[in-house]
Structure formats: structure tokens, C-alpha cells
């Protein structure tokens, strides 16, 4: 007897921003929207912050002792949507997010034996 294979879809949304307040607002909007549609989700999962540090000379010439340091932190979160339906995808497409938040969407299809 041949086993039937069922398609299992998972959507992973990765959000990142320099401002953690805008990021948290966007994450809460997405989570509320997904919960209203009744689809199962995992997250939000907080990822480690990435920090870039820059050292810049204050003076345009000579004085190497006068320096200024800058730090740029990138905050990231992941939300996984398990078995999304067309209604939940439409709701996500209509969602307005903050301008300082970068969104990456990954779709994963796996075949599962039933």
C-alpha cells in the first residue's frame, strides 16, 4: 500500500530593527493578527543582538588621542506560522508595520507521511 504524503507548510518571519520599541510594536501587531485568524504560531523568539562599534577620529588632522566611539545595535525576532491558511496570509499582507523594521519571510514546504 502506498503511503500518502501530506504537504506541510511553515512560514518563518524574521524582523530586525535598530530601535527595539518599533520592533516590539511590529511583533505584537503580527502576533495579534495571526491569533485573530486562529492559526498556530511559535514565538516571538528573541535572537541575540548584533553590535557594531565604530571608532572615529575627532580632529581632521594629527591628534590621534581624540577619538569618538559609536555603537549600533541590531535587535531581531523570529515568528513561525505553522500551517498558514489563505485568510491569515491576506491579513498579514494588509498589515502596516513601522518604517524602521526590516522584514524577511521564509517559506518552508515539507512532505510528511500520513
**For the domain bounded by 9-113, which CATH number is listed?**
3.30.70.600
Residue 25 main-chain phi, psi, to 5 deg:
-65, -45
Q: What's this model's pTM, rounded to 2 decimal places?
A: 0.77
pLDDT value of position 110: 77
Mean local confidence (pLDDT), 27-40: 89
Higher pLDDT, 30 or 3: 30
Give the three-class secondary structure for 55.
strand
C-alpha cell read off for 36: 485573530
C-alpha cell read off for 90: 491576506
pLDDT value of position 24: 92
pLDDT tens column, 68-91: 999 999 999 999 988 888 888 888
pLDDT value of position 82: 87
Q: How far apart are CA 33 and CA 27, in angstroms?
A: 10
pLDDT value of position 4: 66
For the chain, give the mean pLDDT.
86
Indicate the domain borders of the chain. Answer: 9-113
On whether the CB atoms of residues 58 and 68 are closer than 8 A, the answer is yes
Amino acid at each position: 500500500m502506498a503511503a500518502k504524503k501530506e504537504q506541510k507548510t511553515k512560514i518563518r518571519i524574521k524582523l530586525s530593527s535598530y530601535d527595539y520599541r518599533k520592533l516590539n510594536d511590529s511583533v505584537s501587531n503580527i502576533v495579534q493578527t495571526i491569533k485573530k485568524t486562529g492559526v498556530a504560531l511559535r514565538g516571538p523568539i528573541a535572537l541575540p543582538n548584533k553590535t557594531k562599534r565604530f571608532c572615529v577620529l575627532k580632529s581632521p588632522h594629527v591628534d590621534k588621542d581624540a577619538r569618538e566611539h559609536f555603537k549600533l545595535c541590531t535587535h531581531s525576532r523570529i515568528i513561525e506560522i505553522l500551517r498558514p491558511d489563505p485568510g491569515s496570509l491576506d491579513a498579514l499582507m494588509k498589515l502596516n508595520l513601522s518604517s524602521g523594521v526590516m522584514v524577511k519571510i521564509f517559506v518552508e514546504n515539507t512532505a510528511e507521511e500520513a
